[in-house]
């Protein structure tokens, strides 16, 4: 069962989709799956779930790649990914004092063992 309501998510967003149900459900599954048993208090889990739902909803908005005004043209660089992509995701990283969501947001390293023939 979700820890947050649509009204609680809407309270932190300047604009939002009409139906936040899917985003709240995805945030709930993520928070429950990754953060249960990590030593976080119930109120922390609720806030993480709220901000994560807002992050997921915000990702559905179209991203402008450029803007033209008369002779001026501005192209947006999109260097940030994952939780860094929205201000809501950035807040999730602050709220998750266990560092778990930050760790899964980073690229994973691979290790390959070379044999003598390599």
The boundaries of the domain holding residue 10 are 6-105
The answer as to whether 116 is a domain residue is no
Determine the average pLDDT of the residues in 76-81: 58
The answer as to whether 55 is a domain residue is yes
The answer as to whether 112 is a domain residue is no
The answer as to whether 114 is a domain residue is no
The answer as to whether 37 is a domain residue is yes
Distances in Å between the alpha carbon of 102 and those of 45, 49, 79? 15, 14, 17
The residue among 41, 25, 23 whose CA lies nearest residue 33 is 25
Residue 44 C-beta-side C-alpha neighbours within 13 Å: 14
List, for residues 84-115, the tens digit of each pLDDT value: 889 999 999 999 999 999 888 776 666 677 76
The answer as to whether 85 is a domain residue is yes
Q: How many domains does the chain have?
A: 1
The answer as to whether 111 is a domain residue is no
Reply yes or no on whether the pLDDT at 21 is more than 60: yes
Alpha helices in 1-118 (DSSP H): 6-10, 21-35, 42-58, 87-95, 100-105
């Amino acid at each position: 069962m979700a820890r947050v309501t649509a009204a609680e998510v809407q309270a932190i967003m300047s604009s939002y989709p009409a139906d936040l149900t899917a985003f709240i459900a995805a945030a709930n599954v993520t928070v429950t799956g990754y953060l249960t048993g990590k030593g976080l208090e119930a109120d922390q889990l609720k806030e993480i779930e709220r901000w994560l739902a807002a992050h997921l909803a915000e990702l559905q908005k179209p991203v402008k790649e450029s803007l033209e005004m008369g002779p001026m043209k501005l192209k947006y660089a999109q260097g940030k990914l994952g939780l860094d992509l929205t201000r809501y995701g950035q807040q999730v990283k602050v709220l998750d004092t266990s560092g778990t969501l930050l760790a899964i947001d980073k690229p994973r390293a691979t290790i390959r063992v070379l044999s003598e023939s390599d």
